[in-house]
Structure 1
Amino acid sequence: MPGASAPPVERHGRPRNGLRVARVVARDFDGHSETSLDPDLRVFVSDLARPYGLELREDLLRRGVGHSYGEMAEELLAQALPAGEPVDLLILAFSSPDVRPGRSAAVHLSRFCPGAPLAFAVCDQGPAAAFTALRIASDYSRSGACRRAVVLAVEQTSLHHRPAAPVVLPDRHRAVALVCEQTDGDEALVRQSSGAVADSAPAQVRSEWAALGPQAALISGPELALGPQAALSGPEPEREAGLGRDPLGPVVEAGPGQPFTGVWTQLAERLPAWRAERRPVLVADLDRRLGRLSTLALPAGVAP
């Protein structure tokens, strides 16, 4: 499948190592950010929407709804890195827009992250953005310049203009932190493919899932976590032909309420138990509109 992480870079006869997902932390945020009432937000959204003839959501702008990714992630970083562990790379991944224009939230967050890491954002890729961020982090680790990376997947509930086509917005403001550390063994592997993959996605995911089986060390079968668009929730015959009844093992499906962070929330909730049982895990999500399938394979590794 195209888009796989690059092979390790050889240096002095020894391969560079990628990253393992050490832990995942998810958190919901109530209320709204004060920046949602900033007059600059109206100016910013107006400038973006005007050339396309899109209408502003004056009701939302007056009420001041939405949350700032910088504020959300500041609090989550303190929770995800309780010991002040230094970080070399921070990547902010999002699909729905922030409510604070004029500021790079990723660069802002590097000031609040131990180690003052290199920081940037990945966006405009739908649910693939977090997978892309993980792939970049793993490849960067192989350069020898990154021993610990944090990928932040964030989404907030408000869109301050009426879109040209229907979009699915999240039910809640949510942020998920994936803390990744350099490893010499149980490396995470991201694969991504683009094009007309929606019809063949079940077969591709099943192939990736089956490949994890031997790594279970005959202890437990693999686990599969599916994002909202990858989950097959059609009529019963369709499910029988798809992933919902695959004999390989249990399937955890993220609900539609969190289109970007849902599958990562499932991973945050279940990864400790899966690791304790030495279960390999496959995380998969599909953007049907863009035709982009992403998978993250987590080998069983060693039980904590």
Structure 2
Amino acid sequence: MAGSTLAVRHGAAVLAPPRTMRPEFSLMADYDRDLLASFGQSPDPEAAGDRPVVTHVDLVRQLLDGDPLGPVEPDLVMVSYALPDVHPFTTTSTQLNQAFGNRSASFAIAEQGLAAPFSALRIAAAYCRLGYCDQAVLAVLEQTTLPNHDPLVHGADLVDSGALLLLQSGSEGPGLDVHDVWVQCGPDDCARRLADVTASARSGTSLLVEGPRGGHDIQADGMEVHRHAERTYCTSVWMELAQNPQWAEQYATVVLHDTDPRSGTCSAAILRTAARPEPSA
């Protein structure tokens, strides 16, 4: 399969799932205090107190409920996130891998803010292009229980959320091929690149999907714009992609774009209508 293209096929999303009490997590108090102290911070008693939580593993279980991806045997399983898990010693990518038979290469991508899932998509596309991957599963996770006050999390009143995507090579069905993925430190540079994309896209068949805080200066002439309105951070455009499979039939180009409020870094993924097999004579 060397040289093949990866396409987004199916997905699932979850927003504000039920939380449960986890008294055992109170044992993390000393760890959290020491960790925050190394950065000159102190735990927020109100934020760190015993209260219901949802973990990354909880989000994965919610996303897998109902078997939304169907019978798949991925070669690659990835978890990406911008906010840490409430329990930092759980390897969620391994848990997700186990759900698909425990035969995949699996790892997590983090410490990049909302750029993490964009990096995951680029990595999966590279695996496929080099012939190492025919199917990949990507989970984008966001739990918002933190031991300290975080201006982004608490100022925007973020909610727990997640998205799950199946990425496949070949032409099994409707999908969106991964055409290009980038991360730009300068919003102006990103805007210029997106302007080139919109200029080359066919009018009336292109969609720009924006996160809740990005894209105010992006010129999307000739493109429809769809903005994610929920109180999320890194999961925003991925939830929209997972919940709108009809976009693969409606648009020739779908652009995912978001700007990280912490750094101003812009991330974009350009998706094109996946190649379809020619009808038999």
Q: What's the TM-score, normalizing by structure 1? A: 0.79
- Residue 262 of structure 1: aligned partner: 236
Which blocks of at least 5 consecutive residues in structure 2 are unaligned? none
SS of the residue corresponding to residue 231 of structure 2 reads coil
Shift of 1:35: 4.0
Identity of aligned residues (%): 23
Letter in 2 for 1:284: H
Indicate yes or no: 2:190 matched with 1:211: no
Task: Give me the whole-angstrom Cα distance separating, in 1, the residues matched to 2:60 and 2:98.
Answer: 12
Task: Give me the whole-angstrom Cα distance separating, in 2, the residues matched to 1:177 and 1:193.
Answer: 21
Q: Which of 220, 223, 231 is equivalent to 2:207?
A: 223
- Residue 41 of structure 2: aligned partner: 54
Change (3 A) 1:82 1:247: closer
Q: Which of 119, 124, 128 is equivalent to 2:106?
A: 119
- Residue 298 of structure 1: aligned partner: 271
1:136-156 alpha-carbon deviations (Å, 9 max, x no partner): 111112232211101111111
Shift of 1:47: 2.2
Which blocks of at least 5 consecutive residues in structure 1 are unaligned? 1-13, 233-241
Change (3 A) 1:139 1:267: same
Letter in 2 for 1:208: V
Letter in 1 for 2:270: A
Task: Give me the whole-angstrom Cα distance separating, in 2, the residues matched to 1:268 and 1:54.
Answer: 37
SS of the residue corresponding to residue 187 of structure 2 reads coil
SS of the residue corresponding to residue 167 of structure 1 reads helix
Task: Give me the whole-angstrom Cα distance separating, in 2, the residues matched to 1:180 and 1:102.
Answer: 27
Q: What's the TM-score, normalizing by structure 2? A: 0.85
Task: Give me the whole-angstrom Cα distance separating, in 1, the residues matched to 2:117 and 2:4.
Answer: 20
Shift of 1:122: 0.6
Shift of 1:108: 2.3
- Residue 8 of structure 1: aligned partner: none
Shift of 1:115: 5.1
Q: Which of 191, 201, 217 is equivalent to 2:190?
A: 201
Alignment of 1:211-290 (within 5 A): 211-213=200-202, 220-232=204-216, 242-243=217-218, 246-255=220-229, 257-270=231-244, 272-290=245-263
SS of the residue corresponding to residue 141 of structure 1 reads helix
Indicate yes or no: 2:159 matched with 1:172: yes
SS of the residue corresponding to residue 124 of structure 1 reads coil
SS of the residue corresponding to residue 164 of structure 2 reads strand
- Residue 5 of structure 1: aligned partner: none
Letter in 1 for 2:198: W
1:56-91 alpha-carbon deviations (Å, 9 max, x no partner): 122233332431101210231344545331111111
4+ residue segments displaced more than 6 Å? none
Q: Say if 2:33 and 2:43, in contact at 8 Å, map to a contact too.
A: yes
1:89-137 alpha-carbon deviations (Å, 9 max, x no partner): 1110101111112221112221122453211111111111101001111
1:8-57 alpha-carbon deviations (Å, 9 max, x no partner): xxxxxx85213100122111243324447513322331221012231212
Shift of 1:186: 6.0
Q: Which of 121, 125, 149 is equivalent to 2:136?
A: 149
